Structure 1
């Protein structure tokens, strides 16, 4: 079933034939105002799951369109740059029998829509993930945690919250604690310590472990050196690309350089904290170099090859030099070009921040991750704004292993996630909370 975009309902946009090789009689362009939209109506012969494809042109860099289905927010469509019209295999959509209306609104704008098509698809087959970790010397606790996650994969999603204080506040507000809490080694970064930073994050993890919870850990790694440290870019923003002139590509290309040695020094410093967790028999869902693909952090600023090389260096040094065997290694990108390899990744993940109140299952990105690792790895939603609706997760078979809502406004403002939604999520039978965890370390 195929629908030409130029035959849809155009609001603030226009039909064009300026760019060649479109289908039909033209395409729709002019998405340059927030309220601009294109609506197309496709007829489904029966209710069920359909594969959605979008023909588009993205001549102006990375873009995103906000997609609604039958009047309800559905998802953010990521449109990668192109040099002409191409077809995006978007993912599965649940359609009603009869007419269904897809509406594209501007989002980031400045792209062209050529057509939309759908095709009925069969239910997904059983997952192929095995209870194996990439580190052959993984601790008993790490293996047991991975097995627990695997046992619930596709049957439940684990609830998660970034920041222990905000996790404890969930208990006070909603009566339950999340199963997973996210922590950050940011303040242990040597260039932050040099400016007076200190951290009790490891102590927080020890406290959380005493409660029986699962730990996931990131590292907003302040650059090893060359912080800009200005009024506009203060030292504490040194993990951002704009906050440092540190060149990861050059550093990795010169192992005898001071820059390379500074990288190793930072890793060694962080290893000290990770060893404290290993000594306490705490398995860690370890997510270094997160969101590298975005380029806004220095470890992703030079593209996929340096980022992958740095990730593999981290794995080698922490695993083989420091003998850290309590880490379950998470890679945080959906792009094949950025994937460092099956031999150093246990779990694949993305971070997702759709529009406030958009509780869609993020199924298109889930499907992309499953395809990337050929269903051989667990898939997790390691950061989120709005929490996906548990009913939609089951309906779409978007089997995220866990979610982890970011701190601050994302859990507290009542807009990203309203209180009724949080209450529903934390009391849903599909969602596991701390009180439903076994003593998985035994």
Structure 2
């Protein structure tokens, strides 16, 4: 059992009991109108859309005001002043039918890329990314379900520092059959990796795989909910050489071996502690060395000089992680491999210098692990919806984002899903690689947000009853749309 009796001591007693039980079991059209003017006396079929609803006609909360400058807005003004929590505008929207519509947002983003938090009819509905603009423009917020007659669309501050001009509803395009093909970017991919990708493609659009970060948190779902997730997320963090030098130790590879024994899928990320130049102060300790603020390591300079010490330390770190990944390859375990995650946020050092150095680092890492270390069990998962950051189809198998809406917001994050589908022209799988609140399976199917999997972060995100209530977790795991551990096939024969 691969040292099972030793590994159990690294887990909680409850989690260990779950492992023992499972192992024993295994062995035994188009004219635009404004506002609601066309609804009176007409049927839904006779109502022309798109329909536009001006933000300045909405109800303002907080310190918001009606702006008149700069020019270029629609109607008589726009709503501005989104700076702090509590700032919101609620816009009345009259829909011609009970139906699914595409929501278009007219906005101005002079202060850089920002996010706004949406609510539809008073229910939280995820975020919308508002890219930096040089004037007023519009962006699709994805599909929404509206009732015939009166509805409301609310914009809450989120990141703030943007202007809202109007919302528009139009016919939602029907999802076409996905164009994802079976096969991986590595021509020497192992049979196990190919089998897992085939299964993910076969499941895409008809189900979503459940996932949980941290083996302990995953195993402790068994007792209250009766099921375990299909995927567990692990972290290479404490294998980073600059952490090992400070005494860090990790059991994540051993835990992944154990999870494989239970029949589960392993997903790995890497909170890569900077190879050198850790600040290591009271407020910025060595253990926070993956954060931009806790290191002075300059990725751009390191990559510019392959003879430099910094460049060679990058390779040293990659080699150290390759040594660990080889243990999984030797055990014939495929890995959903997601390094350099959340790069565009800039809070991790690998994204601090912008997209070009990060993409260069991704390609260097891909080449090092694939062509030098011959790691063929990896399914490469990129983690950004921004076209500027995308490293290219030739080194990416799956594209993903991390989704952290407000506590209790079980919306499907449809806007970000559709952004990802568009980015890869529907040729690659799309996944929710991390999440706080778990998207509601009913909304996933209703709005056709075909995420391949979700993976809830550990700790409070699964345990506090606020991010995800117990009732919601039970609903998700019991849903016929959600794949749990007991429903996975044997990938050695798939």
Normalising to structure 1: TM-score of the pair?
A: 0.98
Q: Distance in 2 between matches of 1:160 and 1:392?
A: 18
Report the CA distance between 1:19 and its aligned residue.
1.8
Which residue pairs with 1:431 in the alignment?
482
Counterpart contact for 1:224–1:263, Cα < 8 Å: yes
Q: Distance in 2 between matches of 1:430 and 1:388?
A: 12
Which residue pairs with 2:491 in the alignment?
440
Segments of 5+ residues of structure 2 without an aligned counterpart are 1-50
Which residue pairs with 1:395 in the alignment?
446
Which residue pairs with 1:124 in the alignment?
175
Which residue pairs with 1:48 in the alignment?
99
Which residue pairs with 1:80 in the alignment?
131
- Give CA-to-partner distance per residue, 1:354-407, whole Å, 9 cap, x none: 000000011110000000000000000000000000010001110111100001
1:262 paired residue among 313, 319, 340: 313
Counterpart contact for 1:49–1:122, Cα < 8 Å: no
Alignment of 1:244-263 (within 5 A): 244-263=295-314
Q: Distance in 1 between matches of 2:219 and 2:459?
A: 13
2:233 paired residue among 165, 179, 182: 182
Which residue pairs with 2:16 in the alignment?
none
Q: Distance in 1 between matches of 2:217 and 2:84?
A: 36
Report the CA distance between 1:253 and its aligned residue.
1.0
Equivalent residues, number = 442
Which residue pairs with 2:33 in the alignment?
none
Q: Distance in 2 between matches of 1:107 and 1:317?
A: 39
Alignment of 1:357-376 (within 5 A): 357-376=408-427
Q: Distance in 1 between matches of 2:487 and 2:415?
A: 29
Report the CA distance between 1:99 and its aligned residue.
2.4
Q: Distance in 1 between matches of 2:82 and 2:315?
A: 46
Counterpart contact for 1:65–1:79, Cα < 8 Å: yes
Counterpart contact for 1:61–1:81, Cα < 8 Å: yes
Does 2:267 correspond to 1:216? yes
SS in 2 for 1:331: strand
Counterpart contact for 2:236–2:269, Cα < 8 Å: yes
Report the CA distance between 1:276 and its aligned residue.
0.5
Q: Distance in 2 between matches of 1:153 and 1:207?
A: 27
SS in 1 for 2:221: helix
Q: Distance in 1 between matches of 2:342 and 2:492?
A: 30
Does 2:148 correspond to 1:133? no
Which residue pairs with 1:327 in the alignment?
378
SS in 1 for 2:161: coil
Which residue pairs with 1:409 in the alignment?
460
Report the CA distance between 1:34 and its aligned residue.
2.1
Report the CA distance between 1:174 and its aligned residue.
1.1
Q: Distance in 2 between matches of 1:305 and 1:34?
A: 33
2:406 paired residue among 338, 355, 378: 355
Q: Distance in 2 between matches of 1:221 and 1:363?
A: 30
Which residue pairs with 2:25 in the alignment?
none
Structure number, greater radius of gyration? 2
Give structure 1 regions of 4+ aligned residues with deviation exceeding 4 angstroms: none
Which residue pairs with 1:206 in the alignment?
257
Counterpart contact for 2:273–2:289, Cα < 8 Å: yes
Report the CA distance between 1:243 and its aligned residue.
0.8
2:331 paired residue among 280, 298, 305: 280
Report the CA distance between 1:33 and its aligned residue.
3.9
Report the CA distance between 1:83 and its aligned residue.
3.0
Q: Distance in 1 between matches of 2:192 and 2:174?
A: 34
Does 2:59 correspond to 1:9? yes
Does 2:341 correspond to 1:296? no
Q: Distance in 2 between matches of 1:110 and 1:365?
A: 20
Counterpart contact for 1:43–1:97, Cα < 8 Å: yes
1:98 paired residue among 121, 130, 149: 149
Report the CA distance between 1:234 and its aligned residue.
0.3
1:28 paired residue among 79, 89, 96: 79
Q: Distance in 2 between matches of 1:224 and 1:31?
A: 39
Which residue pairs with 1:231 in the alignment?
282
Report the CA distance between 1:190 and its aligned residue.
0.3
Q: Distance in 1 between matches of 2:175 and 2:451?
A: 14
Counterpart contact for 2:128–2:416, Cα < 8 Å: no
Which residue pairs with 2:430 in the alignment?
379
1:337 paired residue among 388, 396, 403: 388
